[in-house]
């Protein structure tokens, strides 16, 4: 089990972020007189504090990892899994319930991000978990939740995943769920809707769920959930069919056909399909027992294998359950939070870049130790990505401690950027790893010139149309932020003129929104996308005077908050009026500053005000507070608060202000505070 890395307690929700401000001094606090060196007041000291704090966080093995906070469905489903397997114990239940209760809002609901609107499926799952923990349905906090659930459609209006969990315990009918036939595993990669048409996270979830869907297990719970039905007389009302000529209508009718097929499926074929699915799952179990380094596929894989006859003492099952225990953070108040994922490779490369940007010597022991650890994490064998890129030599990095089946393009780009900043005593070893990473990333370029996260050309529109797929992104198309990081890395490696780099640049320029920003797929949202793309473009030789860069600068200046910072709410994924709008955060302010600095705006008023915000909101221990979720798993549907973002990105922005862009000719050497 993992102890909390940042001391964070349960987070409470605030007011509408559009109307929140964080107290910061006027822009005049950062002025040309500064501290007598021509630098704004407090910047060097803020950098020194942040460097010291970040160095103190490093694990002796060389890595960094901040807590990865998502929402209470992770905690609820962990308890439901343990109930299903018959291994739920009271200590874990009490600790999980303490966390879940702490996340409930005054109206009885749960949200999926800090300050967000109530979310039905999360509220249902949290309520059910608390019922398992023994909270009586007539307790005030439970009646508030159940009343809200009924008023918003009840169980029938919940997402498919939630209703699958309820079906496992007899609270919902399997007949009222989309069909997932295990025969999917037999479809070759060139047939539409084969498993490799799905993004790797969805693929790893769907394959085990085909087994669950085929077997339809029910293990009755000791209580009913009648209080969660909007209409007790008709708890599962039939949904009207969309017109046949529409995509939705066609796929709804296909699902009905699959329900009919289930009744007549050849027994030998179905048995063979489930066996093949089981082999597929076992073959992808990682060395630490997990699947894909993320909690949801691990949960469903454990259930599927258990249904296929693997007892809990089997090495595969034992390792899987032990891996789930490592996805937990035990807080000082006794609460237990489940992480959906862990981010040590991502956090380590970003921390190393931040420290290098802050002026740490390239041969500093902390950086060398980080490089050693990152070099040891390189993935040197093929994974699922090779289905679409057969023959490509492996050589990338994954996000997590153990995820050799699914290295990703974003981590690989950032690790290469980090390694390039470090002077390692074995330069040949570093150069060989960098060369493999560059080659692998180039080989993963999609046909349109851009890059997705885990696969090349994972762009089929069909998976999103399936009735089952109502839980968020299920494909992995190219994104501006990942493409930008690859372009930035290629430029740092002297490949700015490479035709493949130029294709990436052309794609980025074509993807710019009319107002000037770029959409952020893996961070929130337009501020993140813009903070990723502008530094990449200028690193690759696009002039700060280029119209695309100027539009981005004008947009960032237009959405700067009165307190000098930048913020953007997760609602921007659903409502464009929220683009660039929200309470200021340290990480989003840093992303905006990184873009402005790379665009030649170092001496501009927007940069001065942004620096003032970071300096004045830094805590005495060198940290920043950030309750808002600025990371993205699925746009809108799965939001993330990376607890290390609030440290590494402000340090990067402040360091680049002091020292210039990492690979640019304007890189400056500024003495640390107290040095002459």
The domain that contains 634 carries what CATH number?
1.50.10.20
Q: Can you read off the two tokens belonging to residue 586? A: 């340290």
Q: What is the DSSP string of 332-346?
A: TTS-EEE-SB--HHH
In a domain, 187, yes or no: yes
Residues 6+ apart with CB under 8 A from 482: 409, 410, 413, 450, 451, 452, 453, 521, 522
Please, are residues 617 and 624 in contact by the beta-carbon 8 Å criterion? yes
In a domain, 348, yes or no: yes
Domain count, the chain: 2
Query: Do 349 and 273 share a structural domain?
Result: no
Query: Do 600 and 487 share a structural domain?
Result: yes
Q: What is the pTM of this model?
A: 0.92
Residues 6+ apart with CB under 8 A from 359: 47, 655, 658, 659, 669, 670, 672
State the Cα–Cα distance between residues 676 and 44, nearest whole angstrom.
Answer: 13
262 phi/psi in degrees, rounded to 5:
-55, -35
Q: Can you read off the two tokens belonging to residue 376? A: 């040891």
Query: Do 308 and 427 share a structural domain?
Result: no
Query: Do 75 and 62 share a structural domain?
Result: no
Query: Do 424 and 300 share a structural domain?
Result: no
As a 3-state breakdown, the chain gives helix, strand, coil percent values, each rounded to 5, of: 50, 5, 45
State the Cα–Cα distance between residues 270 and 261, nearest whole angstrom.
Answer: 11
In a domain, 127, yes or no: yes
State the Cα–Cα distance between residues 234 and 418, nearest whole angstrom.
Answer: 58
Query: Do 599 and 556 share a structural domain?
Result: yes
State the Cα–Cα distance between residues 96 and 86, nearest whole angstrom.
Answer: 17
In a domain, 242, yes or no: no
Can you give the pLDDT at residue 264?
A: 95
Can you give the pLDDT at residue 104?
A: 98
Query: Do 478 and 573 share a structural domain?
Result: yes
In a domain, 243, yes or no: no
Q: Helix count (H) and strand count (E) of the chain?
A: 22, 6
Q: Can you read off the two tokens belonging to residue 475? A: 């494909």
Q: What angle do CA 251, 246, 210 make, to 5 degrees?
A: 10
Domain boundary among 338, 368, 398: 338
Query: Do 221 and 277 share a structural domain?
Result: yes
In a domain, 522, yes or no: yes
Can you give the pLDDT at residue 675?
A: 38
Query: What residues of the chain score a pLDDT lower than 50?
Result: 1-34, 36, 665-676
Can you give the pLDDT at residue 232?
A: 82
Can you give the pLDDT at residue 615?
A: 98
Query: Do 182 and 317 share a structural domain?
Result: yes
Query: Do 324 and 262 share a structural domain?
Result: yes
Residues that are catalytic: 410
In a domain, 595, yes or no: yes
In a domain, 239, yes or no: no
Query: Do 113 and 87 share a structural domain?
Result: yes
Query: Do 398 and 269 share a structural domain?
Result: no
Residues 6+ apart with CB under 8 A from 207: 184, 185, 195, 277, 280, 281, 304
Domain boundary among 284, 316, 338: 338
Domain boundary among 338, 356, 386: 338
Residues 6+ apart with CB under 8 A from 125: 72, 73, 76, 77, 80, 162, 165
- Domain containing 29: what range? 7-68+341-460+474-659
């Amino acid at each position: 089990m993992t102890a909390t890395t940042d001391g964070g307690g349960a987070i409470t929700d605030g007011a509408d972020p559009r109307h929140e401000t964080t107290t910061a001094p006027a822009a005049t606090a950062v002025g040309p007189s500064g501290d007598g060196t021509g630098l704004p007041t407090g910047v060097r000291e803020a950098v020194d504090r942040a460097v010291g704090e970040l160095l103190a966080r490093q694990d002796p093995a060389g890595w960094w990892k901040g807590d990865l906070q998502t929402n209470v469905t992770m905690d609820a489903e962990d308890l439901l899994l343990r109930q299903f397997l018959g291994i739920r114990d009271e200590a874990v239940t009490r600790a999980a319930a303490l966390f879940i209760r702490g996340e409930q809002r005054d109206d009885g609901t749960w949200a999926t991000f800090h300050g967000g609107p109530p979310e039905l499926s999360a509220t249902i799952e949290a309520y059910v978990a608390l019922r398992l923990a023994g909270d009586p349905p007539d307790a005030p906090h439970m009646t508030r939740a159940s009343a809200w659930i009924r008023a918003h459609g009840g169980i029938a209006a919940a997402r498919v995943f939630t209703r699958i969990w309820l079906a496992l315990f007899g609270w919902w009918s399997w007949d009222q769920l989309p069909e997932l036939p295990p025969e999917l595993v037999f479809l070759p990669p060139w047939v539409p809707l084969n498993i490799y048409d799905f993004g790797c996270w969805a693929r790893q979830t769907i394959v085990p769920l085909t087994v669950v869907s085929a077997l339809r297990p029910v293990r009755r719970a000791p209580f009913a959930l009648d209080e969660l039905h909007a209409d007790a007389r008709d708890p599962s009302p039939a949904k009207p069919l969309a017109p046949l000529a529409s995509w939705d209508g066609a796929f709804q009718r296909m699902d009905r056909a699959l329900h009919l097929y289930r009744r007549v499926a050849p027994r030998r074929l179905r048995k063979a399909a489930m066996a093949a699915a089981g082999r597929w799952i076992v073959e992808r179990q990682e060395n630490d027992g997990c699947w894909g380094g993320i909690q949801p596929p691990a949960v469903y894989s454990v259930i599927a294998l258990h249904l296929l006859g693997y007892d809990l003492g089997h090495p595969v099952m034992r390792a899987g359950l032990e891996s789930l225990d490592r996805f937990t953070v035990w807080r000082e108040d006794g609460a237990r939070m489940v992480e959906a994922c862990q981010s040590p490779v991502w956090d380590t490369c970003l921390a190393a870049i931040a420290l290098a940007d802050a002026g740490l010597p390239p041969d500093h022991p902390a950086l060398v130790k980080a490089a050693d650890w990152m070099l040891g994490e390189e993935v040197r064998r093929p994974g699922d990505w090779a289905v679409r890129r057969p023959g490509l030599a492996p050589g990338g990095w994954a996000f997590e401690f153990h995820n050799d089946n699914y290295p990703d393009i974003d981590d690989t780009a950032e690790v290469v950027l980090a390694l390039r900043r470090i002077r390692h005593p074995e330069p040949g070893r570093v150069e060989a790893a960098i060369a493999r990473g560059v080659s692998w990333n180039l080989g993963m370029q999609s046909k349109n010139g851009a890059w997705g996260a885990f696969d090349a050309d994972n762009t089929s529109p069909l998976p999103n149309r399936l009735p089952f797929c109502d839980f968020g992104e299920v494909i992995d198309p190219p994104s501006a932020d990942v493409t930008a990081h690859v372009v930035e890395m290629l430029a740092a490696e002297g490949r700015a003129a490479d035709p493949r780099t130029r294709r990436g640049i052309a794609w980025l320029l074509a993807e710019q929104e009319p107002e000037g920003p770029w959409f952020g797929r893996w961070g929130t949202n337009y501020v993140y996308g813009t903070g990723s793309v502008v530094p990449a473009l200028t690193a690759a030789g696009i002039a700060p005077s280029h119209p695309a860069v100027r539009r981005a600068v004008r947009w960032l200046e237009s959405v700067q908050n009165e307190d000098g910072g930048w913020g953007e709410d997760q609602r921007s994924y659903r409502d464009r009026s929220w683009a660039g709008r929200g309470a200021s955060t340290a990480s989003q302010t840093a992303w905006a500053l990184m873009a402005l600095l790379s665009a030649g705006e170092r001496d501009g008023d927007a940069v001065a005000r942004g620096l003032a915000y970071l300096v004045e909101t830094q805590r005495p221990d060198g940290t920043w507070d950030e309750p808002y979720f600025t990371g993205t798993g699925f746009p809108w549907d799965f939001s993330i608060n990376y607890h290390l973002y609030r440290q590494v990105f402000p340090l990067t922005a402040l360091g680049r202000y002091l020292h210039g862009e990492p690979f640019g000719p304007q890189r400056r050497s500024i003495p640390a505070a107290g040095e002459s």
